[in-house]
Structure 1
Amino acid sequence: MTNLSQKATTLLELHKPGNPVVLPTVWDVWSANLAISAGFTALTVGSHPVSDSLGKPDNEGITFEELLTRVSQITSAVDAPLSVDIEAGYGQDPKRLIDGLISAGAVGLNIEDTVHSEGGRLREAQEHADFVGSLRAASDATDVHVVINARTDLFVKQIGDENGRVDRAIARLKLAAAAGADSLYPVGFHNDADYKRLATELPLPINAIANPADGDLAHFAELGVGRISFGPLFQASLSKHAEGILARWK
Structure 2
Amino acid sequence: MSSSPLNTLAQTLKSLHRPGDPLMLTNTYDALTTRIIAANPLAPALATASYAIAASAGLEDDALDLPTNLAGIRAIAAVANEFKKPLTADFQDGYGDRLEEGVRELIQAGVVGMNLEDYGREKGALYDIATACGRIKAVLRTAGELGVPDFVVNARTDALLHGGSVADAVERGRAYLAAGATTVFVWGGRARGGIRREEVKQLADAFGGMLNVSLRLDEVDEKGGKNLTRRELGELGVARISVGPGLQAKAMAAFKREAEKVLGV
Deviations 1:44-77 (A, max 9, x none): 1111100111111212x23322222222222222
How far apart in 2 are the matches of 1:207 and 1:181?
12
How far apart in 2 are the matches of 1:71 and 1:9?
20
How far apart in 2 are the matches of 1:84 and 1:209?
15
**Equivalence for 2:223:** none
TM-score, normalised on structure 1? 0.91
Once the two structures are TM-superposed, the CA of residue 132 in structure 1 deviates from its matched residue by 1.1
**Contact in 2 for aligned 1:69/1:104 (Cα 8 Å):** no
How far apart in 1 are the matches of 2:232 and 2:114?
25
Matched AA of 2:57: L
Once the two structures are TM-superposed, the CA of residue 102 in structure 1 deviates from its matched residue by 0.3
The 5-angstrom pairing of residues 65-144 of structure 1 reads 65-78=67-80, 79=83, 80-118=85-123, 120-144=124-148
Structure 2, unpaired ranges of 5+: 189-193, 220-227
User: 2:241 aligned with 1:228, yes or no?
Assistant: yes
The 5-angstrom pairing of residues 99-248 of structure 1 reads 99-118=104-123, 120-144=124-148, 145-155=150-160, 157-160=161-164, 165-188=165-188, 189-203=194-208, 205-214=210-219, 216-248=229-261
**Contact in 2 for aligned 1:112/1:150 (Cα 8 Å):** yes
Q: Aligned to 1:46, which of 45, 49, 54?
A: 49
**Contact in 2 for aligned 1:94/1:138 (Cα 8 Å):** no
Q: Percent identity?
A: 28
Once the two structures are TM-superposed, the CA of residue 87 in structure 1 deviates from its matched residue by 0.7
Tell me how large the CA RMSD over aligned residues is: 1.7
How far apart in 1 are the matches of 2:99 and 2:64?
18
Once the two structures are TM-superposed, the CA of residue 3 in structure 1 deviates from its matched residue by 3.6
**Equivalence for 1:57:** 60
Structure 1, unpaired ranges of 5+: none
Once the two structures are TM-superposed, the CA of residue 245 in structure 1 deviates from its matched residue by 2.4
**Equivalence for 2:8:** 6
Once the two structures are TM-superposed, the CA of residue 140 in structure 1 deviates from its matched residue by 2.1
**Contact in 1 for aligned 2:117/2:158 (Cα 8 Å):** yes
Aligned residues: 243
